[in-house]
Amino acid sequence: MKLYFENNFNGLPAAFTEAGIRSGRIAVVGDTNTLPLYGEPAADVLKGIFREVHLFAFPAGEEHKNLSSVESLYAFLLDRHFDRKDVILALGGGVVGDMAGFAAATYLRGIRVVQCPTTLLAQVDSSIGGKTGVDFMGYKNMIGAFHMPEFVYMNTGTLATLPEEQFSSGMGEVLKSAVLGDADFWKWLLANAGAIKDKDPDAVLTMVRRTAGIKEAIVLRDPKEQGERALLNLGHTIGHAVEKYRDFSMPHGHCVAVGTAASGYISAGRGLLSRKELDEVIRAERLFDLPVSAGTIDTEAILGFTKSDKKMSAGRIRFILFDRIGHAFIADDVTDDELRRAISAISGDGSL
């Protein structure tokens, strides 16, 4: 899995050539937000190396991340006689990447897919590692498959059009990545906060490259999440529970930020993390316009949602804690009382 970092689409032909993909058909799959913005520019570049370039859009929004939407893509591919030699290019955020990737994993038992993420959240997280899937019966990514992309092409130029809320959502995953595995990167983020928030092209490109590198290194060591890859779930157990409780109205990266704060609270409660380090995490999340509170929430409802999380193992939650900024670990002994205290800490005004 090779990662490309550019600020336009012009490098796509060379990336396809390097991957040995030079002819046939390609379906550029986006949603009703991303395809009008980027579909034609990407297609124009691809027409030089593919004999047929087709555009397909899912309805935008997490509420459309389901099997019905994927079925519509299956029908589109069948109508155009796509076969196993053809390619899907996922052009959009995490919802598009997950659904297009899942369709590629299951259509004809698997065809090639290239991820071309257009949001910060997707560039630093969901496009890397081959996880695909759809939501089912209200549960996030409950149906899916591992299907590695041929490569991931990140055009950071697309972030210039990203709404501020979505940019800050991506920062939730950026900060999480630094907390779990790179203290030096954490310091760099704080030192360059102004340039990042101003979306300085060089600063953003460096940030995306370094964050993606953290995930790529872990995924390469543990591609099927049998061990170390679970560290990437820092902030996600309670984060996903909050996301479901809010009926997916709260951006994913914001939920991860809240979940990371909750993990810090449990870690500090165990004496693993100093109050100073916990306060530093909270201040950094606020600096990048991330919430540290989920507002008024029902503690028992959130706790119940954690019990149906995919990260359950033998009836226990594999929770990710950290004992310093830059080092996380897997804990399977987090108690319900610890979870309740953490959930209480991230409710209300978020004054941990």
* pLDDT tops 90 at residue 92: yes
**Which of 140-144, 232-236, 268-272 shows the lowest per-residue confidence on average (mean pLDDT)?**
140-144
Instruction: Compute the distance between CA of residue 309 and CA of residue 12 in angstroms, rounded to an integer.
Output: 37
What is the reported pLDDT for 223? 86
* pLDDT tops 60 at residue 132: yes
Angle between helices 164-181 and 275-287 (to 10 degrees): 150
Q: Report the pLDDT averaged over residues 174-196.
A: 98
Domains, the chain, with CATH or none: 2-161 (3.40.50.1970), 164-345 (1.20.1090.10)
Question: How many Cβ atoms from other residues are within 10 Å of residue 92's Cβ?
Answer: 32
What is the reported pLDDT for 318? 87
What is the reported pLDDT for 23? 76
Task: Give, in degrees to the nearest 5, the angle at Cα 144 between 143 and 145.
Answer: 150
- Report pLDDT digits (tens) over 206-233: 999 999 999 999 999 998 888 899 999 9
Q: By CB neighbour count within 10 A (0-12 exposed, 13-18 middle, 19+ buried), where does 42 fall?
A: buried
pLDDT band at 107 (very low <50, low <70, confident <90, very high): very high
Task: Give, in degrees to the nearest 5, the angle at Cα 198 between 194 and 203.
Answer: 75
Q: Report the pLDDT averaged over residues 262-289.
A: 97
Q: Report the pLDDT averaged over residues 156-177.
A: 96
What percent of the chain clears pLDDT 70, i.e. is strictly above it?
Answer: 97
Average pLDDT, the chain: 94
* pLDDT tops 70 at residue 330: yes
Contacts 24+ apart (CB under 8 A), 182-190: 182/210, 182/214, 182/326, 183/324, 183/325, 183/326, 183/327, 184/326, 185/210, 185/211, 185/214, 186/284, 186/325, 186/326, 189/284, 190/284, 190/287
What is the reported pLDDT for 79? 98
* pLDDT tops 80 at residue 16: yes
* pLDDT tops 60 at residue 194: yes
CA 50 to chain centre: 29
What is the reported pLDDT for 312? 56
What is the reported pLDDT for 349? 57
Q: Report the pLDDT averaged over residues 94-121.
A: 97
Q: By CB neighbour count within 10 A (0-12 exposed, 13-18 middle, 19+ buried), where does 19 fall?
A: middle
CA 260 to chain centre: 15
Q: By CB neighbour count within 10 A (0-12 exposed, 13-18 middle, 19+ buried), where does 55 fall?
A: middle
pTM of the model: 0.92
Q: Report the pLDDT averaged over residues 246-261.
A: 95
Bridge partners (DSSP) of residue 145 are 132
What is the reported pLDDT for 138? 80
pLDDT band at 352 (very low <50, low <70, confident <90, very high): very low
Question: Which ranges in 126-191 belong to alpha helices (H)?
Answer: 164-181, 183-191
What is the reported pLDDT for 140? 80
Contact between 44 and 77 under an 8 Å Cβ cutoff? The reply is no
| DSSP tag of 161 | G
Q: Report the pLDDT averaged over residues 43-67.
A: 95
Q: Report the pLDDT averaged over residues 291-312.
A: 87
